[in-house]
Amino acid sequence: MILSLTDLSGESLQSQIARQIRAKVLAGELGADDALPSIRGLARDQHISVITVQRAYEALERDGLIHSRRGKGFFVSELSKETKKEMAKGRLAEKLAPQLKAAVAEGLSADDISDVLSSLMNDRKGN
């Protein structure tokens, strides 16, 4: 599994691991019952602490994205497309809520915000 981790980011290594694996699961790059690298193996490959990987895996397990099998390791949980979509939408809403609150506080209307989002999506489609 290829992860792109950097200690130059404001995001913790633990969060980077969880975010990148979450994205791979929700996008379907990792399918149900795919094995994840062992905690020790991923820590060794990424030159990071075992505890950092363990905490990232625990967060993913709490979210229901992965599960452990005693003596076998960690595996991707079986999730329906609808569940994956709902999880992704929930995370988006969680991340956008503070920015939307700030935008409204700065005087933007729902239409203004919608225009900005549409513009961003159109830019994304062009790239």
Q: What percent of the chain has pLDDT over 70?
A: 99
Domain residue extents for the chain = 13-76, 81-126
Whether 62 shows a pLDDT value over 80: the answer reads yes
The model's pLDDT over 15-37, given as tens digits with 9 standing for 90+, comes to: 999 999 999 999 999 999 999 99
pLDDT bin (cut points 50, 70, 90) of residue 127 is: low
Whether 71 shows a pLDDT value over 70: the answer reads yes
Higher pLDDT, 125 or 49: 49
Supply the pLDDT for residue 126. 77
Which 3-state string (H, E, C) describes the chain? CCCCCCCCCCCCHHHHHHHHHHHHHHCCCCCCCCECCCHHHHHHHHCCCHHHHHHHHHHHHHCCCEEEECCCEEEECCCCHHHHHHHHHHHHHHHHHHHHHHHHHCCCCHHHHHHHHHHHHHHHHHC
Supply the pLDDT for residue 112. 96
Supply the pLDDT for residue 58. 98
On whether the 13-76 domain is CATH 1.10.10.10, my answer is: yes
